Chains A and B, each alone.
Chain A
Amino acid sequence: MWLIMTALAAIITTVIWYAKSPGDKYKLGLLSSMFWGGTIMWLVDHVMAYLTEGGEFFEVNLDATMLGLSVIILALCVWIIVLLVSDPKGVLKRASKG
């Protein structure tokens, strides 16, 4: 389930990044790269596990869904931290000056 959720997040962020391009003021490229990295790695993991062990390809249950949500939240947290540190609109700079 977390593979599907991460892939969906990767597609959505890529569409938004493309719509906002050529500029990447809000670092959406970083966010979509994180999601794509996770999606590719989990896809490889799922395919190899399916080929060697068999069983269900997608794990659909509450635990897997909660993990998917946690993964998305972690990526968003990292993205927000990077965004606030770089402060592209200078909002924090202005706020600190009063």
Chain B
Amino acid sequence: MACFLVPAGEAIVTTIAQKVMEKKARGGEAPNIMGLKWSRRLSWLNKLLWGGSLLLALEHVWHGEVVPWPPFLTAMENPADVAPMLHEMVTIGSAMAVAITAIWAIAIAIMEFRAKSKLEIQPIPASGGNK
């Protein structure tokens, strides 16, 4: 009914967070061990959330659940449909947002772990030298 609005709402929040971080980074945010800034990592999450929400919005338009005239959601036209719509947003919408965020967090964690283990494997150059 309107489950895609939850990840879209998260996308708005993370986009604002990314813009704020980019502004702060102009002062000189140090890249982490992977050479990546937080704003860059957040941009990946934003792409997943915005892209997914856009494609799901098309599906909702296709199924007649979203219309281009107010109130835009057909479930809002009938008061009896409002509660099921909100229930779907809370259950399925939240699950979608959590799944996307969890997959993104796992991907970031794996990349950081690999970068760290690579640094540990690299031999430390000997000081001085031997003949």
Contact = CB atoms under 8 A, between A and B. Distances in A.
Interface of A: 2, 6, 29-30, 33-45, 48-49, 67, 70-71, 74-75, 78
Q: Main secondary structure on chain B at its contact with chain A?
A: helix
Given A41-B100, A71-B55, 14 more contacts: A30-B47, A34-B51, A37-B52, A38-B51, A38-B52, A40-B48, A40-B52, A40-B103, A41-B7, A44-B96, A48-B91, A70-B58, A70-B62, A78-B51
Interface in B12-61: 44, 47-56, 58-59
A71 B53 CA distance: 11
Contact of A74 (B4, B50, B54, B91): B54
Q: Main secondary structure on chain A at its contact with chain B?
A: helix
Interface of B: 3-4, 7, 44, 47-56, 58-59, 62, 91-92, 95-96, 99-100, 103
Given A40-B100, A67-B62, A48 B95 contact: yes
B58 A71 contact: yes
B55 A44 contact: no
A41 B54 contact: no
A44 B92 contact: yes
Contacts of B53: 37, 41
A6 B49 CA distance: 15
User: Taking each of B47, B50, B100, which has the highest tally of chain A beta carbons within 10 Å of its own beta carbon?
Assistant: B47
A38 B54 CA distance: 8
B3 A45 contact: yes
Contact of A2 (B49, B59, B91, B92): B59
Contact of A35 (B4, B51, B95): B51
B3 A37 contact: no
Nearest to B6: A41
B50 A37 contact: yes
A75 B55 contact: yes
Contact of B4 (A2, A6, A41, A78): A41
A7 to B, nearest CB: 12
